[in-house]
Chains A and B, each alone.
Chain A
Amino acid sequence: MQGVDRRIRVLIAKPGLDGHDRGAKVVARALRDAGMEVIYTGLRQTPEMIVSAAIQEDVDAIGLSILSGAHMHYFREVKRLLDEQGASDILLFGGGIIPDEDVPKLKALGVAAVFGPGTSTQEIVDFLKRAVPERWKAQGLA
């Protein structure tokens, strides 16, 4: 498959009990408008549900949106399950109310990027259009 022809598939997920979904939906729509295939999980997903949806839908990236302060827990769990199920190639990114102090800790876990409030959706589009094909290349897919 030619890299240029392949569409990026992204899962946008709301883990946990947090119901603040404005950001997740705006991002999902912006990615779709940028030509990506986007699956939105809806609210209240467990890490197990998110990872299983990601594998089933064969996505290239998972974006987690968390505004409740529970981000360390959820990113760690999703990453652990991805590794456990042999899906470490799926790019993990996210956003929400996440203090700067936690960003390096999340990156150390293997989270590729963290987008805080005020990020333009274009920035997220650009990030995925750069990072996902890089992964394809690394995996010899493109």
Chain B
Amino acid sequence: MRRKHDWLRETYRKSLEKIPERPVAHRTLSNIAPDPLYTPEDIGVLDPEYEEKRGFPGEFPYTRGVYGSMYRSKLWTMRMFAGFGTAEQTNERFKKLLKAGQTGLSVAFDLPTLMGYDSDHPLSKGEVGKCGVAVSSLADMEILFEGINLEEVTTSMTINSPANAIWAMYLAVAKKRGYDWKKLGGTIQNDILKEFIAQKEFIFPPEPSVKLVIDTFEWGPKNVPKWNFISVSGYHIREAGSTAVQELAWTLADGFEYVEAALKRGLDVDEFAPRISFFFDVHNDFFEEIAKFRAARRIWAKEMRYRYKAKNPQSWMLRTHAQTAGVSLTAQQPLNNIARVAIQALAAVLGGTNSLHTDAYDEALALPTEESATIALRTQQIIAYETGVTHTIDPLAGSYYVEWLTDEMERQAMEIIEEIRRMGGVVRAIEEGYFLRELAEASYRYQQEVERKERIIVGVNAFTDEIPLKVPIQLVDPEVERVQAERLARVRRERDPKRVEEALQGLRRAAVEGQNTMPHFVECALAYCTLGEMMDVLREVYGTYQEPAYV
């Protein structure tokens, strides 16, 4: 039986050699100094399953956290999702967030960008810059990161169907400014399966879509080794109405589907798996959320090690970003959302998340204002610096309820994962409409429970106010569309048409012949091909996808 003493001497110490303890008092307000970790031996109980099920932080099966010293050394990354209007406006917001103490950037793109249309496309009308920033070419990307050191910040980009193209634009900015790709850190979401399941921002049919993802699995580790080329996301699945168990199961099933596709291409699991990252929602049910994070790490570790035969411990670690649940925010009594977000954020931290976005209280009304976004960031800082929950790692381990619920969620999630495997995998399940049906059921059931008041939502179906409270909201300048159209026209006028043509031809050839598309996307980006031009080439080669309308 492994002793805490040995863990402290080995794993914990090794972890501190990489990143020392933070220079703050790891002491309670009454000056008690907690150990970095507590185990059954601290309270003199026997837990015969301890090593197998819970283990130690930084050790298989990582139930208690992926890193040896967790928040004692390094807090989670406070990463606030931001983006609206033009590249100039979002660049300004980024700089303010960095100044306010944020430690990583996270880009929200507008719907035309997410769907692979240029800002001046007819289908973009009315949507440009609305729910994120518009990026149609390298020119926009250059402005977006103007004055920001790309080797110092890490950047997360929520982009899926056009992920290869947008990542290529970011890398092209870095290249033009002389940054070393080997030093760049960040994440592209690039999780197309959950688009078919929940978020619905797909362009091409499932099969070529997954091919494009696997291109990044192959190309990424060799060229941009510190970049997470995927963030397998449960967030959108949950927001679309799933339960926590479904979110857990489907997300991991998606992850396994990518692993299998990459193995099929002949890639070495230990070369790509260490850079697979995850993204979970964190909703109101406090302990269920904590258990979900712990169960997720355990399932991923076990499956990667035993089913997919990964040997590198890095391949077993589920590193994850989390975001508080937008769907839980209410338009009624919007200031109450500050309390909801704080509780959800605390659950993510107690669940051992590696990165966190906290929603602003006004998100059920509009995009966040600068003030509401700042309060959301401050909420994380209060948890990090004032509450003392970072003194000791995985402080809820050993709680009868939390451990039981972790086991139970693992059991139920594995049942669903096995069911999906029996169906022939996630792509087959998508084609059969499995996820659409399950989501429609789960979200309708929840809505009915709320309407019957079996579930109480404060300010919505109980404790309501007669007079609605007004809060200031963020409006997007309608000029964005015009500014973008002008910039696009200038880009098309000033670029080298021959280089554009050749780059697009190269991309087409790679798509037709089944070659890796990434080098061609980079060349297209450098040539100032627009996002729409790149996606149109692939639309012609791969076709587009239309989902059945199911209610």
Contact = CB atoms under 8 A, between A and B. Distances in A.
B139 to A, nearest CB: 22
Contact of B130 (A20, A38, A69, A101): A69
A70 B127 contact: yes
A16 B126 contact: yes
A18 B110 CA distance: 10
A69 B123 contact: no
B457 interface: yes
Interface string A64-108: 000111101110000000000000000000000101110000000
A118 B331 contact: yes
A25 B551 contact: yes
B201 interface: yes
A17 B466 CA distance: 35
A100 B330 contact: no
A120 interface: yes
A116 interface: yes
B75 interface: no
B212 interface: no
Main secondary structure of the interface of A (DSSP, over half): loop
A17 B470 contact: no
Nearest to B112: A17
Given A18-B111, A68-B130, A121 B364 contact: no
B451 interface: yes
B549 A42 contact: yes
A1 B130 CA distance: 45
Interface in B459-485: 460-461, 468, 470, 473, 475-476
B548 interface: yes
Interface string B268-286: 0000000000000000000
A42 B551 CA distance: 9
B365 A99 contact: yes
A17 B115 contact: yes
Interface in B434-460: 439-440, 443-444, 447, 450-451, 457, 460
A54 to B, nearest CB: 15
Contact of B200 (A43, A100, A122): A43
B432 interface: no
Contacts of B130: 68-70
A68 B239 CA distance: 15
B115 A29 contact: no
A22 B328 CA distance: 13
A106 B513 CA distance: 50
B159 to A, nearest CB: 14
Contacts of B329: 117
B37 interface: no
B366 A97 contact: yes
Nearest to B473: A99
Contact of B551 (A32, A73, A74, A120): A32
Contacts of A29: 440, 444, 551
B418 interface: no
B158 to A, nearest CB: 13
Given A22-B240, A25-B551, A42-B549, A30 B367 contact: no
Interface string A24-64: 01101110100000101111001000000000000000000
B111 A30 contact: no
Contacts of B546: 42
B5 interface: no
A17 B161 CA distance: 13
A132 B550 CA distance: 25
Contacts of A118: 330-332, 364, 457, 460
A21 B443 CA distance: 11
Contact of A17 (B111, B332, B365, B551): B111
Nearest to B125: A73
B224 interface: no
A69 B367 contact: yes
B202 to A, nearest CB: 8
Interface string B199-210: 111000000000
A100 B470 contact: yes
Max chain A C-beta neighbours (<10 A), residue from B447, B457, B548: B447
Nearest to A101: B473
B430 interface: no
B331 A116 contact: yes
B8 interface: no
B549 A122 contact: no
A3 interface: no
A40 B366 CA distance: 25
A137 to B, nearest CB: 29
Nearest to B330: A118
A52 to B, nearest CB: 16
A30 to B, nearest CB: 7
Contacts of B201: 17, 19
Interface string A111-133: 00000111011100000000000
B240 A17 contact: no
B134 to A, nearest CB: 12
A132 to B, nearest CB: 20
B447 A42 contact: no
Contacts of B366: 69, 97, 99
B65 interface: no
- Nearest 3 CB-CB pairs, A to B? A73-B126, A19-B200, A42-B549
Interface of A: 16-22, 25-26, 28-30, 32, 38, 40-43, 46, 67-70, 72-74, 97, 99-101, 116-118, 120-122
Given A97-B366, A100-B365, 14 more contacts: A17-B117, A19-B201, A25-B440, A26-B241, A26-B447, A30-B444, A69-B367, A69-B476, A73-B125, A73-B127, A97-B364, A117-B364, A118-B460, A122-B451
27 contacts: A16-B123, A17-B111, A17-B112, A17-B115, A17-B117, A17-B124, A18-B127, A19-B199, A20-B199, A21-B200, A22-B439, A25-B444, A26-B443, A30-B447, A42-B548, A42-B549, A43-B549, A69-B130, A69-B131, A69-B366, A70-B130, A73-B125, A73-B126, A100-B365, A116-B331, A118-B331, A120-B450
